[in-house]
Structures are given as C-alpha cells and as structure tokens.
Structure 1
C-alpha cells in the first residue's frame, strides 16, 4: 500500500534517481518531473500528496513553480534549498511552501520532514469554537474556510493549522518551539523564520491593519498570542 504520492521535481537525473529509490523503499509512489513546466502539466491531470521541489532549476525556477502550484493545489510542498541561503529559504516560504530541507541533507532528516509534511498534527481542540468572527473576517473550523466581507480568503493548510492552534489557546503566549512542533511536527523547533513568514501572511489575510495587528500578537522573545476581540 502506498504511503503517499510524491511528485519529485529536479533537473538533475542523478538526484532524482537517488531520491526516487529512497522514497520508493519507504512505500511512496513517486512521479518525476525535470522542471517546473513539466510539474505543472502533471498537476493538471493528476493528484499528489506532496511535491518535493528543488529551488535551483533552469527555466521556470523552484520559487515560481511553488507559487504556481500553490495557486491551484493545497498539496504539501517541501523545497530543497542551499544551506546558508537565508533569502532563498524565506522566498520559498513566501511562495507557499510548507517547509524546506537544506542541502546537503541526510536521508533520515528528509524522510522525517516528509512524514511531518504529510501528517495532520492538529487534532480537534477540546472546547474549541466551531466558528470565530474577527470583525469582517469569519473563520469556519469545520469547513476550514476563511471569508472577509463574504469573499473567500485562501489559506494554505499550514497557515490554517497555525491559525487554528493560536485561536484554540486564546490569551496565551505560545512559545515558538511549541507552535513549530504542534503545527509542523516533533522534528521541528528551531525554525523561527517559518513562524515569522507565516504570521506575516496570516496578518495580511486576517488583520484590519497587518502593520498594527489586533488579534495575532507577537510576544517578544517568547512566541505569539491570539487576542480575541472585545465583546
């Protein structure tokens, strides 16, 4: 039985071969694409659980491909980035990636990140509201939808998971490590840049004024806090 369907996008045949064998040995069903254009063509006709996407490719680069995929699919996206390229990593998250793995990486690290990306870490919170209104924004946890003045706001799966966890723990300063491990998985904990990028995106979609947030607040040196609207 397949562990999941993975679309592997890399222009290097040798890398694709090694990763295909590694993933197939773990039970994943792997489809290969040589570039971003081929990946998008495959996504038009087939469904994948996860896209493993290299950042540096000729033609349509990994960042542009990630943005294009995210516009049409909610599948998990993990990007392969170059170590010490902080700007590249932030760009990957901004483009809609759920996370990244830096080269060179070990096989256990890669497999752990894939498992985390495919796993829904959040279970329904006891006593959590089914629906929350934040001014003109309505969040429906059962349908996993967000609307603003009646217009749909597209949140990636990880953006919604992060928002759900924060709202389920109102008025509590939640540490970075707890957020990362509950939303991304136990293999995470030090990737504070993930939270910075995702909170920026959430504030843009949720807050009346993203530059002066009312609901999604930063707790300096600690983490983040959801402040419910005053009744």
Structure 2
C-alpha cells in the first residue's frame, strides 16, 4: 500500500506539471471515482483523476478516437421554427466539431513532435477517448436560420472536454481529465456566426492538446 501511494505521488506530480500543481488531499481522503481513479488537485484543468501506479513512460504513440459531442439540453428549443430545423442544425454542427477536434488535436501533436499518431493499438500506444459535453454555441448553425437573422453576444459559447486515457491493448483506464472552456469574452456585443464557432473551438481544442502533450512528456521523463 505504501509503495502504491509513493508511486501515485510521483505520477501525480509529473503528469500534473502542465495540467497544474497537484497534491494528495483527495488520495488521503479516499476520493476515488467509480472506476477507482484517484482525484487530485490541478490548477490548469477543472478535474484530474489518475490510476494508482499508472506508468506513462513507455508510451510514445497516441491513438485518437472520434470525439463524442453532446449539446446542452434544451439550449436551442426557442431558436428555430421547427424541431426538424433544430435537429439538422445540431447534426451539422456536431459533424463539423468532430472533424475539427480530430484535425486540430493531431496538428498540435505533430507540431510538438514528441508523440506519433496511429490508428492501430499497440503496447506503446496510449488510447485517447474524447467527449465534448455541454456544448453551446450562441449561433449554432447559420444554415438553419433565416438569412436576415443576425445573432449578437459577448461570447460564442462554451464546451467541456472529458478525456479518458487508456492502454490501447488492455483498455485499462489510466487517467481522466475534465475541463470546461469558454470562448473569448469580448466584453461587448459582437455578431456571432459559424465562422466564430470554428475559430473559437479550434483555439480551445489546441489548448487541450498542448496541455496533454506537455503533461505526458513531463510524466514520462520523471518515471522511475
């Protein structure tokens, strides 16, 4: 038990350097998730959970699953003339967001150059399973609105990433990151379009990818 706790301290400290400074307040209190991950503090992400004894040092390849997208419930009920229009708008936005997540995430990993991307599981491959939750854009989809309707808001919207890190062969979950991000708050009413959705979403996704890359690198170099 003592050895497992010591290992957890090392993993938490190293993985969290770019995700935030961590401590063991949760581990000491037995604050674990349903799948026995231990919650630790982070100043960079909202929630960080790690598996005791998880070792990221032998992973040099990342396998990225397609992101799941879930919009905020009832967010667009009054924005469209019919439920059919709303459904089509959400479907179009979901397809675009999934493609943007994959493209932007891979772009950051490639630019960093620390990890390779693959579509096949392997002993040295870490599987990433992203879920975009509570997604809300003020102007979800221009195509579903009347051409003369313009939408103004101080921010394009927000979304929350739930990212699970798993061994690609065994499927064992090693970590979970939960982080909510908002689009740029302009401090004044600005016209919002699907172009703004794209730009703001890309900024958030690239930030998540960069934080993960840097956190894994720190963890890998500090493993015993």
Task: Provide TM-score, normalisation by structure 2.
Answer: 0.27
Task: Provide TM-score, normalisation by structure 1.
Answer: 0.26
